[in-house]
Each structure stands twice: as structure tokens, then as C-alpha cells.
Amino acid sequence: MSGRWLLRWRRRTADRVGGRDFADGAHFSGSHSAPAVASAPSISLAIMPFYNASGDTTLNWLGASLAEMLGSDIGASSQVRMVSPDRLQQVLGDLHVSANSQVDAATLKRAAEFTNAQTVIFGQFIRAGSEIRISTTVMDLAHDTRTVVTTDVPDEKDLLTSVDKLAGELREKLTTDPKVVNDLKAHAERPSTTSVEALKSYEDGVALEKSGDNIKALEDFRAATTTDPDFALAYSRLAKRTRTWDRMSWRSRRHAGRWNWARVCRRRSVI
């Protein structure tokens, strides 16, 4: 027993001395350098679904779609931590905020707190004739500032181009560091379609998928690919949903087969 204790004591002593020698050598001789530590993201960002202030329910799909498009089009960087749409949706659900409701300042701050976001982008849009006006606010909670950006979309067919321009303006509002701006721009992803109708079908499918209506979601994804045969993202979602549906159907058929066979066995046992 004493031998084991002595062995453990020697190991602990060696570890301590080794660590101290390493620190001393690094401090005095410069022969050792401290391990590089990756810097934490300087910006933590949450993009809220936009509020449909027009009262036109046919535009409800645009609220979540604007947030998702801006999240991808602003870009990605090691200095920016973007709250995922799924995580934000979970938090908003916990706060009892519906997808098409307007969010007050107190709820925005709570959502930011629960997602550890220091910057929140939110806004609303309204339709006047064929024009759509998007009002976007960048709220910096760390510095208690707000910046508003107004975007006028002449027609629905110009929506994707206008969102791309808006993303560029928001990129400049998030940081003044040119390196971060260029990094975001280099990793920006735009929708893989130029058809607003196809995008609408796709977003409707995503919303239905999240609500659990997988059959109708499948129909919307198929409609998106029919409208735009080059819509790669819709094809990807369609293939994924089809595989899931086929697997569920196979399990259902297998379960039904087992249940029918059990009935046959019970009848035979009775006979």
C-alpha cells in the first residue's frame, strides 16, 4: 500500500515540476511558446422572422424566408456566431411567440438572452400595390443602439435582388472591421433559384415540414422543383423527405404484415 502511495506521489511531483519548468522556460528563455488560443467570435447574431404588417396573408411565407435568406446572404465568419433558425424557433416557441406575430422589445431582449446573442436583426414588411417595403432594424444590445435600414422592392420579381442588396448593407452595419466584412462576403450563400414562386413553394414546404405535415410538404417541394428545375436546394429537400416517407411506409407495411400474421396464428390456435 505504501509503495503505491509513493508511486502516485512521485507522479504528481513530476507533473508539477514539469509544468513549472515549462512555464519558467517559456518566461525566461523563450524556448517555449504558449499554445495558440482561437479567438472567440466577436459578434453573436440572431435574425428574427420578419413581421407581415401588410395584413395580406399571402405574404406570410415571406417572414421566415427573409430571415433565412439574410442569414445565408450576410455570410459566415469565424468572428460571427449566427444563432441557427431551429434554435431561434425553439426559443420563440418557449416564449409563446407565433410565427406571424409582432415581437415587442422585452421579448426581443429575452430571445437574445436565451440564445446568447448580443445583436438582433428584426423587422417588418408591407405591400403597397406591387411594391414591397422592408424595414430592417439592427439592435446592438451591448452598446444599446439601433440602426434602421429601409429597402423598397419595386415588384415581387425583384425580391431576391433586393434581399441581396439588403444583406450587403447589414454586413456593413454589423462590423467596421474590413477583414470580417470581406470574410462574410466571401462565404455568403444566395438562394439557388431566381424564381420567387419556386422559393415560396419551398418555404411553404419547410413550414409544413416543421409542423409535421409531411405529405403536403412533399407536394410543395415537388412544386418548387417543377417551377424551377434548377432549384438544387428544393431537390435536396425533396429527396430527403421522399427517403423518409419511403422508410416510414416500409415500416408501416412491415408492421401491418406482422399484425395480419399474428391474427392468422390466433385463428389457427382457436381452431
Domain range list for the chain: 43-186, 196-257
What pLDDT score does 254 carry?
53
Q: Is 188 helix (H, G, I), strand (E, B) or coil?
A: coil
CA distance 191 to 68: 10
Grid cell locating 96:
409563446
46: part of which helix (H) or strand (E)?
strand 43-47
Q: Considering the domain 43-186 in this protein, what is its CATH number? A: 3.40.50.10070
CA distance 17 to 173: 51
> Average pLDDT of each block of 10 consecutive residues along the chain (271 residues)?
48 45 41 53 94 91 92 94 93 89 92 96 94 96 95 94 96 94 93 89 88 89 93 88 66 51 53 53
Backbone phi and psi for residue 153, each to the nearest 5 degrees, phi listed first: -100, 110
CA distance 108 to 120: 8
CA distance 139 to 148: 9
Q: Which CA distances in Å does 14 have to 22, 24, 27, 175, 243? A: 12, 15, 20, 48, 57
What pLDDT score does 29 carry?
41
Q: Which CA distances in Å does 169 have to 83, 101, 164, 166, 192? A: 20, 26, 9, 5, 21
Which residue matches cell numbers 415571406?
Answer: 62
What pLDDT score does 28 carry?
36
DSSP bridge pairs for 126: 133
CA dihedral for 188, 49, 118, 112, sign (positive or negative): negative
What pLDDT score does 17 carry?
40
What pLDDT score does 206 carry?
87
DSSP bridge pairs for 241: none
Grid cell locating 195:
424564381
